[in-house]
């Protein structure tokens, strides 16, 4: 490298922090980050960055559940309901998608082209 060239420092891995009423709570922020999340956020689209973190939170939540319960999303509004999460995806640059079923309908994921 020539003396007049400067090398940009490697972006830092993401940081996480959580405060919980239960000091023994098993939160995502207190666990080692998997490799997929260690890539600096500046090298990912907002959609991919959110997608990866949502997977961590959903996985952590599922591990705390017993065999009688599962992860779902609740909605409010005129046609409120619950979506049983069966899949998650993203569409760059800024959309995160959820796939699953509610009490009446299955919402299929798209097939790769």
In a domain? residue 91: yes
Name the burial class of residue 49, with classes exposed (0-12), middle (13-18) and buried (19+) by CB atoms within 10 angstroms of its CB. Answer: buried
In a domain? residue 107: yes
In a domain? residue 65: no
| Closest residue by Cα to residue 38 from 49, 26, 22, 28 | 49
- The half-sphere exposure of 49 on its side-chain side, counting CA atoms within 13 A, is 13
What's the confidence (pLDDT) of residue 41?
83
| Closest residue by Cα to residue 101 from 77, 79, 80, 85 | 85
Both tokens assigned to 27: 């939160």
pLDDT in tens, 32-88: 878 878 888 888 899 999 999 999 989 988 888 998 988 888 877 767 688 888 889
Within 10 angstroms of residue 51's Cβ, the number of other Cβ atoms is 20
What's the confidence (pLDDT) of residue 45?
92
**pTM > 0.85: yes or no:** no
In a domain? residue 64: no
DSSP for residue 106: E
In a domain? residue 39: no
DSSP for residue 107: E
Domain region containing 113 = 83-113
Three-class SS state of 43: helix
Beta-sheet pairing, 106-107 with 95-101? antiparallel
Number of compact structural domains in the chain: 1
């Amino acid at each position: 490298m020539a003396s007049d060239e400067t090398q940009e420092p490697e972006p830092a891995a993401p940081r996480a922090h959580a405060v919980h009423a239960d000091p023994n709570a098993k939160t995502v922020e207190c666990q080692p980050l998997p490799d997929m999340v260690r890539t600096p956020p500046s090298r990912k689209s907002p959609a991919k960055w959110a997608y990866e973190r949502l997977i961590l939170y959903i996985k952590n939540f599922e591990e705390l559940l017993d065999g009688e319960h599962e992860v779902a999303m609740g909605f409010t509004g005129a046609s409120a309901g619950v979506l049983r999460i069966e899949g998650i995806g993203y569409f760059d640059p800024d959309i995160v998608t959820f796939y699953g079923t509610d009490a009446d309908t299955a919402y299929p994921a798209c097939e790769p082209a």
